Structure 1
Amino acid sequence: MLAIIGGSGLTRFTRLEEAERRQVTTPYGNPSAALTFGLLSGRPLVFLARHGDEHTIPPHQVNYRANIWALRECVPTGIVAVAAVGSIRSDLSPGDLVIPHQIIDYTWARSSTFHEGPHSAVTHVDFTEPYDHVLRRQLVDAAAAIGARVSEAAVYAATQGPRLETAAEINRLERDGADVVGMTGMPEAVLARELAIPYAAINVVANYAAGRGDSREAIRMEAILSVLEGAMQQVFAIIERMLTSHD
């Protein structure tokens, strides 16, 4: 069973058949929302809204540990995380889709490991390649099969939020090698790695990052919502194709 984590623009997976919601608890508290189980083209899937059902949980207050632990209890074959990002790279425009291959973490003060506490051994988890290679390939192949254009490689910069970045900060991220910027990619990815759950992401470019393109003077939130609404239809289609191609 595949697990989907939905971000901004994807708080409900409306295409699920025979949908059933289940409230769960974890040793780390409650996840952001009830888990939704259902079928997509006859294949089982579980969905979790990262920011809650009504999009009320800001990025820095998401209980990432509870979310990943709750999905782990479902024994998923993998997690596909959907998230909106800002484009740093000039060739990535609003509405484009990105399958990132690397992360730079700029977040702070987030609970970012399961390996802590008085009885936990010191554990170093390899994170050289933060996204699962097989899962990424399946997403790329599914996008190609339906004719959706995606960027197959990008460095994702995870910032703290909830505020958006300054233009100078975006310049710094570019110098660091980042291509897109978001607020939820970490510690989500590393927590999945700690629990040995394959994890990959689909990023929807919602806007140009601060100081770039039509965000040179300011970022217009109303434009972001319009872009996300249209792009999410392609995300649905990619996930559906991925499921039906890999039983």
Structure 2
Amino acid sequence: MLAIIGGTGIYQIDGLAVEQEHEIDTPFGKPSAAIKQGSYLGQTVFFLPRHGNSHQLLPSEVNYQANIWALKSLGVTQIVGFSAVGSLQQEIAPGDLAICGQYFDFIKGSRAKSFFGNGLVAHVSTAEPSCKHLAQGIVAAANNLEVTIHDNKTYACVDGPRLGSKAESLFLKNAAACDLVGMTNVPEAFLAREAQICYCTIGIATDYDCWQDDPSQHVSVEQVISRYGESLAKAKSVLESFIKTHQADESCGCRSALASAVLTPESALSSEAKELLAVLSR
């Protein structure tokens, strides 16, 4: 089952024939919005707007645990996310698409970053946090449409909501060797791995953040909204092409991330921990 998580500017999927809306209470609270389930190009697809239906949630206010848990409880095994990103590299021009292959966690706030704890100990591998199978399918779809897409780029996640300083932008570009910067993919990507969900982000570059010397190139909300809007049609066409040809791969390693990750014996787990693990392990 495939789910789409919409970022800035994506609060619905055009062409999704909605059949049901799921209002879900999770052990972690409410998701960002009701999850829409419907038919898209003949396939069952779920949709969740990351920031809420009216973009009322800051990146730090998104309940990432509830979002991922709710999707997994509905049977979702694959997630394609959309995110507005700043480019830290000259070759990734505003308007280009990019696949996030690696993540650099630069979050300093108190976001809940794991499903584990409270008597349930597990350590999943995130050496390769993005699903290669999904990434290959998305890149192939973009290439078929002759849409520029940059593969296997490193995404730095910052707290927000403020836009970054030039010093921070240069640090992420040079010291951390990152290619993209955004505010939402951590802990989303890592929670998806803990839930054994294949996960991949399509980043839509809206600006060059603020590492360049030319002040006119520094990121602003106006730039983000205008350039992002111009690129949405391109991103959605790639999604459509991807869904038309994509086949799920249940043998993907993402789907067995918990196989040797849980250290707490079942006999020591509370009933709540057992129920949580049962959902994550599906």
| Conserved? CA contact 2:77–2:196, under 8 Å | no
| Conserved? CA contact 1:208–1:215, under 8 Å | no
In the comparison of the two structures, how many residue pairs are matched? 245
Match of 1:31 in 2: 31
- 5+ residue gaps in structure 2? 248-282
* Identity within the alignment, %: 36
C-alpha displacement of 1:113: 0.4
Residue type matched to 1:181 in 2? V
Larger radius of gyration: 2
Residue type matched to 1:97 in 2? L
1:76 is aligned to 2:82: no
Deviations along 1:173-220, whole A, 9 cap, x unmatched?
A: 012110110000100001000010000110000111113276557433
Alignment of 1:83-162 (within 5 A): 83-108=83-108, 109-117=110-118, 119-120=119-120, 122-162=121-161
Deviations along 1:26-76, whole A, 9 cap, x unmatched?
A: 111000001011121121110000000000100011100000001101212
What TM-score do you get using the length of structure 2 for normalisation?
Answer: 0.83
Classify 1:233/1:217 alpha carbon distance in 2 versus 1 (closer, same or farther; 3 Å): closer
Classify 1:174/1:232 alpha carbon distance in 2 versus 1 (closer, same or farther; 3 Å): same
C-alpha displacement of 1:246: 2.1
C-alpha displacement of 1:116: 1.0
Match of 1:163 in 2: 162
| Conserved? CA contact 2:88–2:181, under 8 Å | yes
Alpha-carbon distance in 1 for matches of 2:227, 2:38 = 27
Classify 1:237/1:217 alpha carbon distance in 2 versus 1 (closer, same or farther; 3 Å): closer
Q: Root-mean-square deviation (CA), in Å?
A: 1.5
Residue type matched to 2:94 in 1? P
Residue type matched to 2:31 in 1? P
Partner of 1:164: helix, strand, or coil?
coil
1:173 is aligned to 2:172: yes
Alpha-carbon distance in 1 for matches of 2:213, 2:155 = 19
| Conserved? CA contact 1:100–1:203, under 8 Å | yes
